[in-house]
Amino acid sequence: MKDIALANQGKFSDPKTTAKGEPRATVALNDPQTLWFNTGTLCNIQCVNCYILSSPTNDSLVYITADEVRDYLDQLEDRKWNVSEIAFTGGEPFMNPEMIEITEASLERGYEVLILTNAMLPMMRKKMREGLLRLQAAYPDKLTMRISVDHYRRELHDAERGKGALDKTITGMKWLTENGFKLAVAGRSVFEDTDTDSRAGYAAFYAENGFTIDAQDPAMTVLFPEMDESIEVPEITTACWGILNKSPDAIMCASSRMVVKRHGADRLAVLACTLLPYAPEFELGETLEEAERDVALNHPHCAKFCVLGGASCSG
C-alpha cells in the first residue's frame, strides 16, 4: 500500500489553495438536516478496514452521555437549525450503556433517529432489546436501524469482520424484523462489484432472509465507496463544481455536523464530517454556533468519498 504522503504528494496541505495554486473548494452549512453523535469508538469487533479504527480497546472517542446529547438538542432549538434527523454512529453504539436513554432523548423531541449498528451481541443484550421494544412501541416508524453488511456473501463479509460475523448480524436483523423495526443496510463497494450487481446481490440476500429492505433505494441500501487514504485523488477546486456539474449543497458537510467526546478532553467538539474524527482541521469548535462556518475540502476523503464518490452517511 502506498503511503498517503507519496500518493498525494504536496496535496491537501493548504485549506485555501491546492498544490497547483488554485482556489480550494469550500462548502457552507446551508441546510442542516442531520446532527450526528459518535457514541464512542469502542466496538465488540475489529474490522480490517474500519475508517475510524474502532475496536474492543480503542477509546479515543469515549462514551457520550444522554445529558450531553440533550445539551446539543437544546442548541439545535436555540440555533433554529432545520434538522429532522438525529443519527448515531460509533464504534458500536450499543456498547454505550446509555444508548437507550440517548435514543429516547432524541425521539421525545420529535426527531427521526438513525442508529448505525452491526446488530450483534451488544444490541442483542436483554437490556438493550427491552429498551428498543419500548421505544418502538412509543415511537413507531421514527427509528431506523442501519445495519453494517459489508457484503451479501458470507465469506467476503466475514473477511472484513471476522468468522461468523454475518450469521450473528443476520440473527440481530431477524429479531429487528420480527419486531417491526425499520431496517436499512450499509454496504461497501470496495469489492469491485458494479452498482447494479451489488444491488441485485443485496436484493437476493434480503429475499432469502425475509428482510423488507429496498435494495434499489440508495437511502435504504447505502453502498459506500472505498476510503483508502493511500490512493491518489485530485484536489477539489472552485472550478470543479461547474466541471462536474455538481452543487456544493449536495456535499455532506452542507447538511450535517457530528459531535464527539475525545478521551481526556474537557469539552465535546463539533466536527465537519463523520468520516474525519481524528483530523484536527475538521474540528469546528465546541458549540453548534461555532460549527456554522464553511468547510474547506482539504482531505482525500472529501474528493474520493463525497465529491467524486457521491456518498453521504445520511443517505
pLDDT in tens, 266-279: 899 999 999 899 98
Contact assessment for residue 272 and residue 252, using Cβ atoms and an 8 Å cutoff = no
Contact assessment for residue 66 and residue 259, using Cβ atoms and an 8 Å cutoff = no
Domains, the chain? 26-307 (3.20.20.70)
For residue 147, CA distances in Å to 183, 211, 222 come to 7, 12, 10
Contact assessment for residue 243 and residue 310, using Cβ atoms and an 8 Å cutoff = no
Contact assessment for residue 8 and residue 233, using Cβ atoms and an 8 Å cutoff = yes
For the entire predicted model, the pTM comes to: 0.93
Q: Is the pLDDT of residue 75 over 70?
A: yes
Please calculate the CA angle 114-282-305 and round it to the nearest 5 degrees: 60
- Report the chain's mean pLDDT, rounded to a whole number: 92
pLDDT band at 301 (very low <50, low <70, confident <90, very high): confident
Q: What is the mean pLDDT of residues 188-203?
A: 85
The residues facing 145 across adjacent strands are 115, 183
Q: What are phi and psi of 223, to 5 degrees?
A: -105, 105
Q: Is the pLDDT of residue 77 over 50?
A: yes
The residue written with cell numbers 437490556 in the block is 127
Q: What is the mean pLDDT of residues 95-111?
A: 98
Q: What are phi and psi of 180, to 5 degrees?
A: 80, 15
pLDDT of residue 303: 84
Burial of 296 (0-12, 13-18, 19+ CB in 10 A): buried
Q: What is the mean pLDDT of residues 93-109?
A: 98
pLDDT of residue 6: 58
Return the number of other C-beta atoms located less than 10 Å from residue 238's C-beta: 14
Q: What is the mean pLDDT of residues 39-60?
A: 91
Q: Which residues contact 145 (CB under 8 A, 6 or more apart)?
A: 115, 117, 119, 176, 181, 182, 183, 184
pLDDT band at 302 (very low <50, low <70, confident <90, very high): confident
Q: Is the pLDDT of residue 83 over 90?
A: yes
Please calculate the CA angle 176-178-183 and round it to the nearest 5 degrees: 40
Give strand ranges (E) for the chain.
26-27, 34-38, 85-89, 112-117, 143-148, 182-188, 221-224, 256-260, 269-271, 283-285, 295-296
pLDDT of residue 3: 47
pLDDT band at 219 (very low <50, low <70, confident <90, very high): very high
> For 13-35, what is each residue's pLDDT tens digit?
899 999 999 999 999 999 999 99
Which secondary-structure segment (H or E) carries 7? helix 4-7
Contact assessment for residue 54 and residue 46, using Cβ atoms and an 8 Å cutoff = yes
pLDDT band at 190 (very low <50, low <70, confident <90, very high): low
CA 292 to chain centre: 20
Task: Name the residue type at position 86.
Answer: I
The DSSP annotation for 150-186 comes to S-SSHHHHHHHH-TTHHHHHHHHHHHHHHTT-EEEEE
Nearest one of 166, 170, 147 to 158, comparing CA atoms: 166
Contact assessment for residue 269 and residue 260, using Cβ atoms and an 8 Å cutoff = yes
pLDDT of residue 152: 94
> For 225-261, what is each residue's pLDDT tens digit?
766 666 788 899 999 999 999 999 999 999 999 999 9
pLDDT band at 1 (very low <50, low <70, confident <90, very high): very low
Q: Is the pLDDT of residue 4 over 50?
A: no
Q: Is the pLDDT of residue 2 over 50?
A: no
- d(CA 280, CA 303) in angstroms, rounded, equals 18
Q: Which of 36-50, 60-74, 124-138 has the lowest average pLDDT?
A: 36-50
